[in-house]
Amino acid sequence: VPSAYEIAQCQFKIASERLDLSEEACEVLSEPMFECTVRVPVRMDDGNTKVFTGFRVQHNSARGPCKGGLRFHPEDDLETTRALAAWMTWKTAVVGIPLGGGKGGMRVNTKELSDAEKERLCRGYMRAVGRVLGPEIDVPAPDVYTTAQMMGWMVDEYEAQIGRREPGVITGKPVGIGGSKGRSIATALGAVFAIREAAKDIGVDLKGAKVAIQGYGNGGSNAHCLLQSMMDCKVVALSDSSGAIYNGDGIDYDKAYPHKQETGKLDGLEGTDTMSNEELLELDVDILIPAALSGVLTEENANKVKANLVAEIANGPTTPEADDILHENGVYVIPDLLCNAGGVTVSYFEMIQNACHDRWSEDQVRERLDTVMTEAYRELHSRVQKDKVNPRMAAFLIALERVFAACRERGWISSGDA
């Protein structure tokens, strides 16, 4: 299976060739403008110090300050962070918000840490990278295995360093210290809006539509909740890192979520059968939602996908080979660059509120998110039809054009080409 970095590079190459971008432009756009690796000593509960490795990558800031989450994962590395940072540059361009792309992370298994150790880790990370962050420079947020509470510790550490309040340095904070209402469900809500629009175009009736969701973190679990409550979908399969569960009559969010909270896994939920993550991807459902990690739909299994619609809540779940197969088989893929952009869009709303000392109601957030997602989806879909390309390619074409234009307007790329 190709790595996130290989997937991102390959996608960029295909799209840049189609746009006939110059070598100079590709050189500017394909690699990050800034990256750093930090070693963070953390005092563990047993009194010993352990050193953790962390990263922050700023891919491109031509359209605005870099923006993107922090991932805490045992396999995290600089290359993965680079790929995820580049995807943020393209993602913010696809939904047209004035931000660039960044990403960060730490190589750590948070499941092995106590809350106090997690807090010291977060504060240590902020001490190490704070100097390259700021509301007009680069703004982190939650991602895989990071939470609102962690963002709270980090903003506190940053503000202690600079000696004043600066809530806009990080988003996805708890609401009481400058977080935005609606941010915690934003990634899933944005995906639901995109699914609603795509379902109209490809003729899927969402009421009673069968859904399988791979991954039960922030994106996957909230998608379960919202698809059930807002769209009347029937979510028949769920999974987390411990395996998948299935019930053809539907799995109730109000049973699954508390079970996951209490036991730490989905496995063992009453009234469900167990299956593997692999089997879940190949289920006979209307909508398949990869909401975990990258590289899960590959040339090995793409032919076995029976869903009509794939909605990518994860970053980079589909390899370029799988993309071609799915497209040939008539599966409509709502690409991550659009489908999961609700998170960063409400992060952008949070930055606006922080800059203006304002606070918006949840309805206001939902309404504006709907507008951003629906308009971006419509633009993407007309590009699909106009250029006769798959939705991923359309997303890349839109993104590369916008970022390319901004780089040229800044004089980073000469104006003779493309």
Show which residues are catalytic.
Answer: 103
Nearer to ligand GLU among residue 234 and residue 316 (C-beta): 316
Least distance from ligand GLU to the Cβ atom of residue 239, Å: 20
Torsion of CA 68, 69, 75, 79, to 10 degrees: 10
One-letter identity of residue 78:
L
DSSP H or E stretch at residue 13: helix 4-18
**343 closest CA partner among 59, 62, 83, 151:** 151
141 makes contact with ligand GLU (CB under 6 A): yes
326 makes contact with ligand GLU (CB under 6 A): no
Nearer to ligand GLU among residue 283 and residue 396 (C-beta): 396
Alpha carbon distance 118, 110 (integer Å)? 7
4 makes contact with ligand GLU (CB under 6 A): no
Nearer to ligand GLU among residue 60 and residue 315 (C-beta): 315
315 makes contact with ligand GLU (CB under 6 A): yes
- How many residues in the shown chain lie near ligand GLU by CB under 6 A? 12
* Cβ contact 143:110 at 8 Å: no
Least distance from ligand GLU to the Cβ atom of residue 161, Å: 21
**Structural tokens at position 361:** 């109601």
* Cβ contact 370:193 at 8 Å: yes
Least distance from ligand GLU to the Cβ atom of residue 68, Å: 5
> Locate tokens 């991932």: which residue?
71
340 makes contact with ligand GLU (CB under 6 A): yes
Using the rule CB under 6 A, which residue among 61, 171, 353, 354 binds ligand GLU?
Answer: 171
* Cβ contact 9:394 at 8 Å: no
Work out the number of other CB atoms within 10 angstroms of the CB of residue 77: 16
282 makes contact with ligand GLU (CB under 6 A): no
Site for ligand GLU in 49-88 (CB under 6 A): 67-69
**Structural tokens at position 183:** 């941010």
Nearer to ligand GLU among residue 344 and residue 393 (C-beta): 344
Least distance from ligand GLU to the Cβ atom of residue 388, Å: 28
Contacts of 132 (CB under 8 A, 6+ apart): 34, 36, 56, 58, 138
Least distance from ligand GLU to the Cβ atom of residue 164, Å: 23
Whole-angstrom CA distances from 418 to 28, 128, 129, 397 are 14, 40, 36, 13
Alpha carbon distance 46, 60 (integer Å)? 41
Nearer to ligand GLU among residue 151 and residue 213 (C-beta): 151
Using the rule CB under 6 A, which residue among 214, 347, 353, 390 binds ligand GLU?
Answer: 347
Using the rule CB under 6 A, which residue among 117, 143, 157, 197 binds ligand GLU?
Answer: 143
Nearer to ligand GLU among residue 87 and residue 308 (C-beta): 87
Using the rule CB under 6 A, which residue among 121, 289, 296, 344 binds ligand GLU?
Answer: 344
**336 closest CA partner among 399, 282, 385, 275:** 399
Please choose, out of 46-54, 161-169, 191-199, 342-350, the segment that lies near ligand GLU by the rule CB under 6 A. 342-350
Least distance from ligand GLU to the Cβ atom of residue 320, Å: 20
Please choose, out of 39-47, 337-345, 373-381, 406-414, the segment that lies near ligand GLU by the rule CB under 6 A. 337-345
286 makes contact with ligand GLU (CB under 6 A): no
Half-sphere exposure in the Cβ direction for 382 (13 Å, CA): 5
Q: In what order do the strands lie in the sheet with 70-73?
A: 34-43, 49-60, 101-107, 70-73
* Cβ contact 275:243 at 8 Å: yes
Binding site for ligand GLU (CB under 6 A): 67-69, 141, 143, 171-172, 315, 340, 343-344, 347
